[in-house]
């Protein structure tokens, strides 16, 4: 029978539940188990697609087009799971489904309540995660967003309490991730917040089986471990110290050393099979041995939130590993170039420029100036999504002489709409879940950088956009601006431009899709890998 691990959090938010869940998934896969993984989020948005990156961080997109929480990015980077619409559920989505059923009369006139209707819907989502799997899933890991004690999380926790009774306690394990703060003045770690957090869980009817303690730079002593175990009714070996670990991808190895995966399997009555972490250990060793640093300028507009471009940050780390260098990625506010600062001065000490994704007109002119500098100075350039559109605008304005060229997103009345609304987007008014989302086929052209990077003719990458390159300008851009279309999405008589390049440049490549979403530390994304290699060559040429 499938086993279930539920990951909850206590004391504070952003405690690291997602990384812990992903790490456990990786460790279990290394022992040969097939896993599935899911995030339950307590906010009322149906999904994070309409949420501001300043507030929520990036929106992670799955192959089938789900706009999900960024923790799903951790799941895919650490494990071999390919996630889907079923892998993320929110309070908004749960309530929306229940209300639609009520409107259709599916509850036969009953009064619709949190218990049982909302909790039943939550349990149904959990069960549906594995319903269509080709082979039986051994262990399901489910992370519950928020913090124990929050009002928003209560229906989810109540559903888990019921679920445990329905499948039988031996098939269910609760891992509670909590903060054990270090008080400088006292010179010791304090376990009381963890005790109170566990007590809140027990008040709901849930007894954690494993407690993962975030301790900052400190490590739990045996006495502190025993104290938490005693007050929280957990075995000593089920108290896991989660101190800050560097590099980031060494975190699972820290859990492995403390036998987190063995503890969970023992709770399930499973004799732990042998584990093979050789590839992961080799990757971390390689990361630890890098002796070169590469400076990349990332020109964006959400630079004040570390998680706004989470997958891009991680994809650069992966590319750095395979190129034996560390990446010093500096996010630069594109509005600086609109306020008088010269890109040549700001970008002088960098060896590559990235213009990343985003929405809205703020900072666009600054991004165009950054692309112009990268093109004219032969500085390696990489554009992603909006970054590709910005590159096309720069070429049209400065090489075709179309000074008012723009995107209809920023100027609906532009005389030269180089970028325009996708045909299928016309007439759409709802914002949530209505963009071109998910994985699409892209056919690569021979003798291009994209083809050389991927090493194959056809790829599949994930998208999240409403606007596209306007093919009415294609001939002029190819003939007079030197633009090379190296990737197409076949769509009858209206092929979509997916990747553009410049042949007369050391490395100038931009993609309409989001390549960062499919990058992992063991399989770095090809475009990121080649961009970093080009930036290294630029660094070496500079001396």
In degrees and rounded to multiples of 5, residue 143 shows phi and psi of -95, 135
Residues, the chain, total? 543
Q: How many helices (H) and strands (E) does the chain have?
A: 18, 23
Q: CATH fold of 290-421+467-484+502-542, please?
A: Rossmann fold (3.40.50)
CB contact at 8 A, 210 and 234: yes
Q: CATH fold of 3-283, please?
A: Rossmann fold (3.40.50)
- Residue 424 annotated among the catalytic residues of the structure: no
In degrees and rounded to multiples of 5, residue 434 shows phi and psi of -115, 0
Using the CB atoms, write b or e for 451-461: b if 16+ within 10 Å.
bebbeeeebeb
- Beta strand 210-214 pairing with 239-242: parallel
Going from N- to C-terminal start, the domains of the chain cover 3-283, 290-421+467-484+502-542
DSSP type of residue 268: T
pLDDT at 29 (0 to 100) = 98
- Beta strand 483-489 pairing with 436-444: antiparallel
Residue 37 has pLDDT above 60, yes or no: yes
- Rounded distance, CA 252 to CA 250, Å? 6
Tens-digit pLDDT profile for residues 206-238: 999 999 999 999 999 999 999 999 999 999 999
Kindly report the average pLDDT of the chain as a whole number: 93
Which pair of tokens denotes residue 448?
């291009």
pLDDT at 211 (0 to 100) = 98
- Residue 385 annotated among the catalytic residues of the structure: yes
385, 392, 442, 509: the active-site residue: 385
- Residue 176 annotated among the catalytic residues of the structure: no
Write out the E strands in 74-148.
Answer: 88-90, 139-144
pLDDT at 191 (0 to 100) = 94
pTM tops 0.85, yes or no: yes
Same fold, 3-283 and 290-421+467-484+502-542: yes
- Rounded distance, CA 486 to CA 509, Å? 9
CB contact at 8 A, 61 and 67: yes
pLDDT at 14 (0 to 100) = 87
Show the 3-state SS of 319-380.
Answer: HHHHCCCEEEEEEEEHHHHHCCCCHHHHCCCCCCEEECCCCCCCCHHHHHHHHHHHHHCCCC
In degrees and rounded to multiples of 5, residue 514 shows phi and psi of -110, 90
Smallest CA-to-CA distance from 68 within 517, 496, 419 is with 517
Beta bridge partners of 245: none
Tens-digit pLDDT profile for residues 167-221: 999 999 999 999 999 998 888 999 999 999 999 999 999 999 999 999 999 999 9
- Burial class, 168, CB count within 10 angstroms (exposed 0-12 / middle 13-18 / buried 19+): exposed
- Rounded distance, CA 399 to CA 416, Å? 14
121, 213, 516, 538: the active-site residue: 516
465, 489, 514, 538: the active-site residue: 514
């Amino acid at each position: 029978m499938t086993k279930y691990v539920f990951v909850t959090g206590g004391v504070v938010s952003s405690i690291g539940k997602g990384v812990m869940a992903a790490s456990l998934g990786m460790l279990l896969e290394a022992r040969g188990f097939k896993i599935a993984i899911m995030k339950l989020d307590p906010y009322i948005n149906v999904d994070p697609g309409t949420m501001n990156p300043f507030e929520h961080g990036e929106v992670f997109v799955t192959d089938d087009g789900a706009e999900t929480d960024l923790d799903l990015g951790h799941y895919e980077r650490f494990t071999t799971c390919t996630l889907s619409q079923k892998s993320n559920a929110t309070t908004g989505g749960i309530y929306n489904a229940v209300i639609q059923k009520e409107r259709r009369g599916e509850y036969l006139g009953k009064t619709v309540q949190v218990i049982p209707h909302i909790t039943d819907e939550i349990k149904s989502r959990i069960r549906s995660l594995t319903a269509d799997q080709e082979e039986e899933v051994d262990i399901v890991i489910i992370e519950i967003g928020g913090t124990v004690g929050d009002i928003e999380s209560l229906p989810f926790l109540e559903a888990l309490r019921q679920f445990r009774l329905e499948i039988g306690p031996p098939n269910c394990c609760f891992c509670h991730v909590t903060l054990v703060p270090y008080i400088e003045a006292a010179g010791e770690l304090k376990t009381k917040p963890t005790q109170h957090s566990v007590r809140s869980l027990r008040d709901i009817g849930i007894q954690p089986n494993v407690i993962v303690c975030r301790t900052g730079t400190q490590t739990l002593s045996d006495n502190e471990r025993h104290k938490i175990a005693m007050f929280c009714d957990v075995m000593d070996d089920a108290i896991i110290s989660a101190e800050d670990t560097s590099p980031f991808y060494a975190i699972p190895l820290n859990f492995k050393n403390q036998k987190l995966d063995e503890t969970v399997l023992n709770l399930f009555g499973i004799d732990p099979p042998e584990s093979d972490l050789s590839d992961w250990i080799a990757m971390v060793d390689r990361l630890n041995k890098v002796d070169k640093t590469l400076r990349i300028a990332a020109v964006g507009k959400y630079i004040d939130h570390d998680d706004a471009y989470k997958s891009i940050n991680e994809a650069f780390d992966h590319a750095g590993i395979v190129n034996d260098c560390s990446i010093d990625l500096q996010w630069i506010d594109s509005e600086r170039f609109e306020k008088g600062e010269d890109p040549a001065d700001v970008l002088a000490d960098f060896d590559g420029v990235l213009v990343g994704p985003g929405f809205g007109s703020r900072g666009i002119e600054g991004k165009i100036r950054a692309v112009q500098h990268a093109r004219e100075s032969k500085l390696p350039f990489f554009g992603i999504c909006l970054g590709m559109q910005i590159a096309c605008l720069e070429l049209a304005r400065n090489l075709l002489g179309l000074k008012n060229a723009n995107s209809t997103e920023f100027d609906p009345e532009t005389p030269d709409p180089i970028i325009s609304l996708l045909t299928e987007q016309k007439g759409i008014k709802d914002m949530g879940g209505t963009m071109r989302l998910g994985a699409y086929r892209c056919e690569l052209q021979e003798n291009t950088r994209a083809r050389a990077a991927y090493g194959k003719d056809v790829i599949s990458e994930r998208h999240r956009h409403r606007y596209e390159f306007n093919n009415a300008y294609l001939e002029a851009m190819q003939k007079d601006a030197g633009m090379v279309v190296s990737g197409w999405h076949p769509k009858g008589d209206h092929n979509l431009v997916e990747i553009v390049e410049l042949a007369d440049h050391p490395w100038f490549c931009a993609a309409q899709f989001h390549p960062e979403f499919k990058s992992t530390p063991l399989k770095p994304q090809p475009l990121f890998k080649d961009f970093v290699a080009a930036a290294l060559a630029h660094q070496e040429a500079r001396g």
